[in-house]
């Protein structure tokens, strides 16, 4: 079939077989992957790609004028790696994402990578088309024209619609993370989440500081107490299948983390605007569950607070009574995420969920252990492994990590049930996980996903990942919810 006419046409190029001349590389023309174009046109593209030395590295892009017979003005050649390797879904998503970024500002783009896998191609392209919002008084019509409109070869209309919905919700999480901390604070975040959730047909409950005080939410109130902008607890419910228990999602919503009285160094502190990445992902995921009509009840419990130093701030040495009655000695006000999560986890467990996923930009130790692109997944063993595996399947890279018993002693307190930090720095991500485990109700299958690195890309854009908020782990949580809905 002849694809629609478009400004730019995206085709894949893979390295041909090594001719065996001993230089270890391929001197042959690349293999062109362009379903829908006929043999002659494909051959012309291969010659063109070869003559300009277009790279076949996954996600490399080269723009060339369109030869006769291509339904567009120019062609973006995108690398798919070696033609010897089967192209997996993540490679397709990354290539489509990189291509979409290369097409930005050029108008409509037609992506001809693999007609049989429309969802992977469409999702990569849609995620890669994301444009970060700008705070500006200027008319941003020009910026909007810059947004590339992507078409996928043929077929799979449902897959393309689904991919667009997923990409929109990932985009929502990215936009929330990218919103500067003077504009996104607990009150405004809660209102925005409520507005978006109501539009998607969710039930919404916002608890303000008075409600939190009445309820005894000692962790959220302490962490939020130093700010003139008081904390919130937001609850969003998608009512799906009423014949089985709900699944709970909990996300850390620290709208800015100065460290509080245990203040952070100035260098790099501006990045702590992303410390609500877990909350953003949870809000986006429950909205996505509703928009996809998931046959499962999903309840999001999202604590929001700004961690500031002031005369009303909580201090090192304070003993807090958390929601549910557990007492915690604060030894470091910068270990604040676990305190607001603890309250939220106890509240979430009151709904008797079968499973609970919490996610948070919780520890710098996550990055020390696993780097910037592999979320650390802890929790009850079976569910932890299932979440990590599904996360890798969608390209978000979750990796299972232990909760070693010997670290638990480090959380013992002289004066309370627990302290919020250990006296040593070993296994910081795992100690945080152990702290949270104390608040998860018996019998609940639980996964804790630490996305301190993966939620935010402080390097350059690559593949379908933009700079700034990444939207991780929205697609992991969607995959888990769909797996639970399917398997029970
Ligand atoms: N929000 C930070 C963790 C973080 C650090 C996220 C860097 C993203 C990038 C968290 O609240 C924090 O400050 N954690 C401390 C814990 C420590 C005091 C036990 C940390 O990781 O240093
Ligand atoms: Mn902190
Ligand atoms: Zn934090």
Percent of the chain with pLDDT over 90: 87
d(CA 464, CA 123): 9
What pLDDT, on a 0 to 100 scale, did the predictor assign at position 21?
Answer: 59
Collapsing DSSP states into helix, strand and coil, what is residue 419? strand
The distance of Cα 17 from the centroid of its chain, to the nearest Å, equals: 37
Identify the residue whose C-alpha is closest to ligand 1 atom 8.
Answer: 452
Q: Is 138 a catalytic residue?
A: no
Residue listed under structure tokens 């909205």: 287
What pLDDT, on a 0 to 100 scale, did the predictor assign at position 429?
Answer: 98
Of 224, 279, 284, whose CA–CA distance to 252 is shortest? 279
Beta bridge partners of 446: 356
Element containing residue 16 per DSSP (H, E)? none
What pTM does this model have? 0.96
- 8 A C-beta contact, residue 330 and residue 337: no
Beta strands in 93-199 (DSSP E): 108-112, 149-152
Tokens of 387: 């979440």
d(CA 464, CA 398): 17
Beta strands in 283-330 (DSSP E): 298-307, 319-321, 327-329
Tokens of 399: 């990796």
- 8 A C-beta contact, residue 56 and residue 14: yes
Ligand 1 pocket test: pick from 334, 360, 372, 376 the residue with the most ligand atoms within 8 Å of its Cβ. 334
Q: Which residues line ligand 1 (CB under 6 A)?
A: 257, 275, 332, 334-337, 361-365, 421, 428, 452
Q: Is 475 a catalytic residue?
A: no
Helices (H), 62-135: 89-102, 118-128
Please identify which of the residues 338, 347, 384, 475 carries the catalytic annotation: 338
Please identify which of the residues 264, 372, 392, 467 carries the catalytic annotation: 264
| Below-70 pLDDT ranges, the chain | 1-4, 18-26, 140-145, 155, 488
């Amino acid at each position: 079939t002849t694809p629609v006419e478009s400004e730019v046409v995206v085709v894949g190029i893979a390295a041909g077989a090594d001719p065996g001349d001993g230089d270890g590389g391929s001197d042959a023309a690349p293999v062109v992957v362009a379903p829908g174009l006929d043999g002659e046109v494909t051959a012309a593209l291969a010659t063109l790609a070869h003559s300009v030395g277009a790279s076949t590295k996954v996600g490399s892009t080269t723009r060339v004028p369109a030869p006769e017979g291509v339904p567009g003005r120019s062609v973006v050649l995108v690398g798919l790696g070696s033609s010897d390797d089967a192209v997996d879904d993540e490679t397709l998503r990354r290539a489509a994402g990189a291509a979409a970024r290369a097409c930005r500002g050029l108008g409509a783009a037609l992506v001809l990578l693999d007609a049989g896998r429309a969802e992977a191609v469409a999702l990569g392209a849609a995620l890669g088309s994301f444009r970060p919002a700008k705070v500006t008084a200027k008319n941003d019509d020009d910026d909007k024209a810059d947004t590339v409109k992507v078409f996928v070869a043929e077929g799979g209309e449902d897959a393309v619609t689904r991919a667009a919905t997923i990409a929109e919700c990932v985009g929502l999480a990215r936009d929330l993370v990218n919103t500067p901390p003077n504009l996104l604070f607990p009150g405004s975040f809660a209102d925005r989440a409520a507005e978006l959730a109501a539009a998607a047909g969710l039930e919404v409950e916002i608890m303000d500081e008075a409600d939190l005080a009445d309820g005894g939410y000692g962790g959220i109130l302490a962490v939020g107490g130093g700010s003139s902008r008081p904390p919130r607890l937001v609850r969003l419910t998608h009512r799906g299948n009423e014949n089985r228990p709900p699944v709970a999602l909990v996300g850390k919503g620290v709208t800015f983390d100065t460290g509080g009285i245990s203040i952070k160094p100035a260098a790099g502190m501006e990045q702590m605007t992303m410390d609500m990445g877990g909350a953003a992902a949870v809000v986006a995921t429950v909205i996505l569950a509703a928009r996809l009509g998931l046959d499962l009840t999903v309840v999001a419990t999202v604590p929001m607070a700004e961690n500031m130093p002031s005369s009303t701030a909580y201090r090192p040495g304070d003993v807090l009574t958390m929601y549910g009655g557990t007492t915690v000695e604060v030894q470091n006000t910068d270990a604040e995420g676990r305190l607001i999560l603890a309250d939220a986890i106890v509240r979430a467990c009151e709904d008797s969920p079968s499973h609970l996923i919490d996610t948070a930009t919780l520890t710098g130790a996550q990055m020390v252990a696993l780097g910037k692109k592999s979320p650390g997944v802890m929790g009850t063993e079976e569910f932890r492994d299932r979440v990590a595996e599904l996360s890798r399947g969608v390209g978000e890279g979750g990796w299972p990590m232990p909760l070693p018993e010997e670290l638990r002693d480090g959380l013992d307190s002289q004066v309370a049930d627990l302290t919020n930090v250990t006296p040593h720095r070993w296994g910081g991500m795992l100690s945080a996980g152990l702290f949270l485990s104390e608040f998860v109700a018996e019998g609940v299958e639980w996964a804790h996903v630490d996305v301190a690195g993966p939620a935010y890309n402080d390097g350059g854009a690559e593949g379908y990942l933009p700079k700034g908020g990444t939207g991780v782990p929205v697609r992991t949580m969607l995959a888990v919810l769909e797996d639970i809905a399917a398997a029970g």
